[in-house]
Structure 1
Amino acid sequence: MSEELSLKVKNFYQEVYNQGNLDAMEEFIDVNYLRHQPPMKDVQGLAAYKAFISEVRGAYTNFNMILDEIITAGNKTVVRLTLTGKNTGKSPTIRTPPTGREIAMPACVVSTWDNGKIAEEWVYNDYLGLTYQFGVMPIITGSFE
């Protein structure tokens, strides 16, 4: 089961996020899908998730999700990944004008699978680091020792 889920995760990110094939989402995402991505409001349902992915992909030229690590346990997967691209469109997560800057944002996605599809996810992104890369927040230097 864990090898099967790992392969599904890889195929999902490659097909949907990296290639932009939103029609393939029906193979991977439950119709009643629920996504929690604090501090944003929840995304509920397959149609809303398709719209969200389209908006995210539209904010970055050369958009790419690099899967750094996949962990499976029972009906759960945990993916540590890095989102890369050039911010040339309006970001749905950080409401600033396009910056034209290259970004690399680490994230972690915890997914619950039901009947071979993702039913619910908790997503944790490094938004503070993204604001630094956008030039919105100054980089804090120094030691916390």
Structure 2
Amino acid sequence: MKLMLLTALFPLFSYSAPNPSKNKELLKRFYKELYVDWNMETADEMLSPDFISHDWPEKGQKGPKAFRKYYVAFKKAVPDAKYEVKDILADGDRVAVRWEMRGTYSEPFPGIDILPNGQTVILKGVAIYRVEDEKLMERWVVSDLHGLLKTIQEPSK
């Protein structure tokens, strides 16, 4: 009741509660448009200018431009990469996505010292996103890099 009274008296200080369902739909669209269709222009619409991914190798990079830069290098290394969302859960301003990426390792990727020779790659992981004002603000990723490196070290079958 007090919150409603305050927002009525001071509309500049209105509070918008997180909408988990809306946030979940935002992430479903994000994965479809950016990680399946690879429509990187969508990053400008969906990511905050201050978006930070806490897993990027170069700290301090932020926003849609940094996102596109990272994934241009990634897509060059794995040109047929496709992500599949396995689970998606939302609570408050956070959305957790369990995903799996499959593709072919075709070009070197910065930070990986194993030369590509057409190895099939499978990378599984979980990403947690923070959403604010219908934009992605932050992301934390945990992925099975050990499994990925083990796979690409093996001779291609």
TM-score by length of 1: 0.85
Computing the radius of gyration over CA atoms, which structure comes out larger, 1 or 2?
Answer: 2
* Structural mapping, 1:1-145, within 5 Å: 1-37=19-55, 40-42=57-59, 43-135=61-153
Percent identical among aligned pairs is 20
- Two-structure CA RMSD over aligned residues (Å): 1.6
CA deviation after TM superposition for structure 1 residue 92, in Å: 3.6
Unpaired segments ≥5 residues, structure 1:
137-145
Question: 1:93/1:16 Cα in 2 relative to 1: closer, same or farther (>3 Å)?
Answer: farther
TM-score by length of 2: 0.79
Find the residue that maps to 1:62 and give its secondary structure.
Answer: coil
Whether the 8 Å CA contact 1:67–1:80 is kept in 2: the answer is yes
Aligned length: 135
CA deviation after TM superposition for structure 1 residue 95, in Å: 3.4
- Give the AA of the match of 2:116: P
Whether the 8 Å CA contact 1:80–1:108 is kept in 2: the answer is yes
Alpha-carbon distance between aligned partners in 2 of 1:93 and 1:20, rounded to the nearest angstrom: 22
CA deviation after TM superposition for structure 1 residue 23, in Å: 0.8
Unpaired segments ≥5 residues, structure 2:
1-18
Whether the 8 Å CA contact 2:130–2:139 is kept in 1: the answer is yes
Question: 1:11/1:105 Cα in 2 relative to 1: closer, same or farther (>3 Å)?
Answer: same
Q: Which runs of 4+ in 1 moved over 3 A?
A: none
Whether the 8 Å CA contact 1:17–1:57 is kept in 2: the answer is no
**Higher share in helix:** 2
CA deviation after TM superposition for structure 1 residue 52, in Å: 0.5
Question: 1:133/1:74 Cα in 2 relative to 1: closer, same or farther (>3 Å)?
Answer: same
Question: 1:6/1:103 Cα in 2 relative to 1: closer, same or farther (>3 Å)?
Answer: same
Whether the 8 Å CA contact 1:17–1:53 is kept in 2: the answer is no
Larger displacement relative to structure 2 (58-67 or 110-119) = 58-67
Find the residue that maps to 1:61 and give its secondary structure.
Answer: coil
CA deviation after TM superposition for structure 1 residue 93, in Å: 4.9
